[in-house]
């Protein structure tokens, strides 16, 4: 078993949203450096199950870095110490034999803990539902490429569209702000021609929903940008701010109440 | 009205107010530094005292001054409101301190701002309040021979109780009698701990603006490949280096002179 690692894990265990949680220490033994972080947790869970203990609950799905399910705040950083990857893409060779690894859930009032390391990120879904879409009328299918889109615009929109909604931005932000996520969606649609009809109502509705969910305020520290597995940039936030102020202050025809009236 | 409230109560609206008041305070710093550079003139405070007199007796300056006080209060109050909201957004903190890449100044704006607010209160109490409302400052009389342009200075005891200032010309000699704020500065800056406090506060200005200046433009949505380097250049060199260093030199030089 040469080259295999033994690690100490300090894991946040919490029965459900209401019950207070605590850290529990586990041994992760005989871990291959080629395993992903989640596979390492699978090994630990196997042994817990064999011992008739409750396995560690954590979110995961695709395990190839595109679904945004896996979260985990590892040793003080969302998705662990490496840049531009999700937790499922993090390999155990990143750590050294004998290391103690602290694993915490995303901490945000808007992301209540479901159990252990899994949080309820449906706040993001509600922000998305508030305006993160384009309305398409039914009818004949338009020809592909009938709407011209400059290459640079398509590229920028695509960069924003790579956001997988994992919530690492919220987890990393000292203010637990969701502005990187929200702005990525707003920018993606706001740049493209298909997104223009709803551009200014979208930004107002999505920002209102974001505030409603209880996320914090952005202070432009850039921790979100540093932790984003898809490297969404802070420029998205500037784009959102620009569209928001534009709608609220300079575009009377678009400035209307999106919160259902006062 | 509800539309107005909705805009400025939103997260982005609060940020807009922070950005605008912050940038206004930045522009003030340039003016404040410009005037105070007169302290470096070796003329026993003639230029500086005349400037202080001008500032306190020119009505448009008064109007801007009240806007300035308002901006400071609004900036501080909104910072507090936003900070409280941000704390509520994460009621349970992390066990391991966040290691994400972010500049030290950007993560400590509240601490730096609090130091600055304390500084502003003490600074204004010591100079602004003393000048305007406290009758403890003496007067200086500057006599300038208009032919030779030589200035002599002497203490002046006002004959009337609420004397403010006077400028007159007699026999080709200009006589300027003004409150002697310069002496107050000489006195205050002769204490090392007072000087140290000023220097620390200017350090806080430096780090506060290193993040604050460019952050304000970001909040306004004014981010452009072409202008970003210019904004960063001014934010770093003018607001985080030149202005705080020049301000900090004033107490340091006056302290050295007092030795």
For B55-119, the DSSP string reads HHH-HHHHHHHHHHHHHHHHHHHHHHHHHHHHHHH-SS--SSPP-----HHHHTHHHHHHHHHHH
- For residue B106, give the chain A residue with the closest CA: A221
Structural element, H or E, at residue A115? strand A113-115
- The verdict on B32 and B120 lying in the same domain is yes
Q: What is the C-alpha separation between A244 and A199, in angstroms, rounded?
A: 10
Domain ranges of chain A: 5-104, 123-250
CATH of residue B212's domain is 1.20.1300.10
Non-local (6+) Cβ contacts of B3 within 8 A are A248, A255, A256, A257
- The verdict on B154 and B246 lying in the same domain is no
Is there a contact between A175 and B88 if contact means CB atoms under 8 Å apart? no
Q: What is the pLDDT of residue B6?
A: 80
Is B124 inside any structural domain? yes
- The verdict on B200 and B215 lying in the same domain is yes
Q: What is the dihedral of CA A103, A108, A110, A114, to 10 degrees?
A: 30
Domain count, chain B: 2
Non-local (6+) Cβ contacts of B88 within 8 A are A109, A214, A216
Is there a contact between A175 and B93 if contact means CB atoms under 8 Å apart? no
Q: What is the pLDDT of residue A188?
A: 98
At the topology level, CATH places domain A5-104 in: Ubiquitin-like (UB roll) (3.10.20)
pLDDT under 50: residue ranges of chain B: none
At the topology level, CATH places domain A123-250 in: Fumarate Reductase Iron-sulfur Protein; Chain B, domain 2 (1.10.1060)
Is B99 inside any structural domain? no
Q: Which of A177, A234, A243 sits opposite B218 (nearest CB)?
A: A234
- pLDDT per position as a tens digit, B106-117: 999 999 999 999
Q: Which of A208, A217, A226 sits opposite B102 (nearest CB)?
A: A226
- The verdict on B72 and B173 lying in the same domain is no
Contact A170, A213 (CB under 8 A): no
- pLDDT per position as a tens digit, A187-209: 999 999 999 999 999 999 999 99
What are phi and psi for residue B99, nearest 5 degrees? -110, 10
- For residue B81, give the chain A residue with the closest CA: A217
Q: For helices B59-89 and B11-36, give the axis angle rounded to 10 degrees.
A: 140
In B107-131, which positions are buried (b, 16+ CB within 10 angstroms) versus exposed (e)?
bbbeebbebbbebbeebeeebbebb
- pLDDT per position as a tens digit, A21-69: 999 999 999 999 999 999 999 999 999 999 999 999 999 999 999 999 9
Q: What is the pLDDT of residue A144?
A: 81
Q: What is the C-alpha separation between B31 and B34, in angstroms, rounded?
A: 5
- The verdict on B159 and B235 lying in the same domain is no
- The verdict on B31 and B88 lying in the same domain is yes
Is there a contact between B85 and A217 if contact means CB atoms under 8 Å apart? yes
pLDDT under 70: residue ranges of chain A: 1-2, 255-262
Contact A55, A48 (CB under 8 A): yes
State the best of B221, B222, B226 to mutate against chain A, taking most chain A CBs within 10 Å: B221
Q: Which of A208, A222, A227 sits opposite B10 (nearest CB)?
A: A208
Classify the phi-psi angles of A63: left when phi > 0, otherwise alpha if psi is within -120 to 50, otherwise beta. left
| Domain, as residue range, for B164 | 138-179
Is B97 inside any structural domain? no
Q: What is the pLDDT of residue A261?
A: 38
């Amino acid at each position: 078993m040469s080259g295999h690692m033994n690690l100490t894990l300090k894991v946040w265990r919490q029965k459900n949203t209401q019950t207070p949680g605590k850290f529990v220490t586990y041994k992760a033994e005989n871990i291959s450096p080629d395993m992903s972080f989640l596979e390492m947790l699978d090994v630990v869970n196997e042994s817990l199950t064999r011992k008739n203990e409750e396995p560690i609950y954590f979110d995961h799905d695709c395990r190839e870095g595109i679904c945004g399910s896996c979260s985990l705040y590892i040793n003080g950083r969302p998705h662990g110490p490496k840049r531009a990857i999700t937790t499922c893409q993090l390999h155990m060779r990143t750590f050294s034999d004998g290391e103690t690894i602290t694993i915490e859930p995303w901490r945000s009032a808007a992301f209540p803990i479901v159990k252990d390391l899994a949080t309820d990120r449906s706040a993001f879904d509600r922000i998305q539902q508030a305006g993160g879409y384009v309305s398409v009328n039914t009818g004949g299918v338009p020809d592909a490429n009938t709407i011209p889109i400059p290459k640079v615009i398509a590229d920028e929109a695509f960069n924003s569209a790579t956001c997988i909604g994992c919530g690492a931005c919220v987890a990393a932000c000292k203010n637990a702000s969701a502005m990187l996520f929200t702005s990525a969606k707003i920018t993606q649609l706001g740049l493209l021609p298909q997104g223009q009809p709803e551009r200014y109502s979208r930004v107002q509705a999505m920002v209102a929903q974001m505030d409603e969910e209880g996320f914090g305020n952005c202070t432009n520290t850039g921790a979100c940008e540093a932790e984003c597995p898809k490297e969404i940039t802070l420029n998205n936030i500037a784009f959102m701010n620009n569209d928001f102020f534009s709608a609220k202050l300079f575009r009377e025809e678009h400035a209307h109440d999106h919160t259902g009236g006062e | 009205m509800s539309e107005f409230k909705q805009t400025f109560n939103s997260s982005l609206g609060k940020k807009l107010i922070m950005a605008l008041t912050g940038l206004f305070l930045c522009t003030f710093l340039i003016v404040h530094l410009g005037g105070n550079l007169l302290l470096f003139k070796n003329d026993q405070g003639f230029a500086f005292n005349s400037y202080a007199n001008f500032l306190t007796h020119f009505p448009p300056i008064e109007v801007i001054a009240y806007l300035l006080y308002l901006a400071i209060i609004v900036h501080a109050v909104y910072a507090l409101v936003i900070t409280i909201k941000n704390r509520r957004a994460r009621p349970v903190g992390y066990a391991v301190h966040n290691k994400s890449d972010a500049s030290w100044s950007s993560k400590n704006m509240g601490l730096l701002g609090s130091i600055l607010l304390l500084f502003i209160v003490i600074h204004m109490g010591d100079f602004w309040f003393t000048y305007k409302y406290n009758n403890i400052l003496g007067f200086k009389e500057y006599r300038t021979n208009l032919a030779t342009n030589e200035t002599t200075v002497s203490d002046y005891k006002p004959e009337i109780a609420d004397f403010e200032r006077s400028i007159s010309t007699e026999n080709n000699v200009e006589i300027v009698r003004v409150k002697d704020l310069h002496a107050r500065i000489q006195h205050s800056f002769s204490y090392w701990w007072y000087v140290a406090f000023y220097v620390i506060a200017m350090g806080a200005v430096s780090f506060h603006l290193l993040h604050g200046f460019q952050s304000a433009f970001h909040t306004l949505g004014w981010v452009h490949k072409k202008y970003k380097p210019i904004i960063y250049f001014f934010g770093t060199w003018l607001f985080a280096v030149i202005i705080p260093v020049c301000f900090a030199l004033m107490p340091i030089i006056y302290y050295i002179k007092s030795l």
